[in-house]
Amino acid sequence: MPQSFAQIYLHIVFSTKTRQRFLIADQLREQLHAYIVGICKNQDSPTIMVGGAEDHVHLLCCLDRQKTVADLVRDVKSSSSKWIKQQNTDLRDFEWQAGYGAFSISPSHKEILKRYIANQMEHHRKESFQDELRRLFQKYNVTYDERYVWD
């Protein structure tokens, strides 16, 4: 085959450092999500959906075939962190957690995941971020050590 093709859907999840609720304001959260869409577009990894709650972000995107997951997440977190700090002096201490969760998903699950991400605020009235991440680890069969998940 003379060309390379790939269609890799990723569900990426990351939190603010120590799950601080920096993203309380709806307008800030919406602007952040839009900014992340732009970052992913510039990385040739188009976003399908971005959402989250006061302390974390969910991102559904297509990974560019020449990009690594680590590079994409690094770029999203670095650029968005700089952007957030410029929005308000009260956010100067903003940081993302060091790690992230990244899960491959089937194209057939894309619509279900889009709805899940769109309903994050409602969802987190019933489940904490920590419990959500534990459930995602279990769903995707990810082995983890709880001592190294939370920062």
Over the stretch 104-119, which tens digit does the pLDDT of each residue have? 999 999 999 999 999 9
Q: Is 66 left (phi over 0), alpha (psi -120 to 50) or beta?
A: alpha
pTM of the model as a whole:
0.94
Going across the sheet that includes 56-63, the strands are: 47-53, 56-63, 8-15, 101-105
Beta bridge partners of 63: 8
Using the predicted structure, report yes or no on whether residue 150 has a pLDDT greater than 90. no
Rounded to an integer, the average pLDDT of 5-11 is: 94
- The length of the chain in residues reads 151
For residue 71, the model assigns a pLDDT of 97
User: In which band, very low, low, confident or very high, does the pLDDT at 13 lie, cut at 50, 70 and 90?
Assistant: very high
Helices (DSSP H) in the chain: which residue ranges? 26-42, 69-87, 110-118, 120-123, 129-139
pLDDT digits (tens, 9 = 90+) for 27-86: 999 999 999 999 999 999 999 999 999 999 999 999 999 999 999 999 999 999 999 999
Instruction: Please give the pLDDT value at position 1.
Output: 64
CA atoms within 13 A on the CB side of 37: 10
Confidence of residue 146 (pLDDT cuts 50, 70, 90): confident
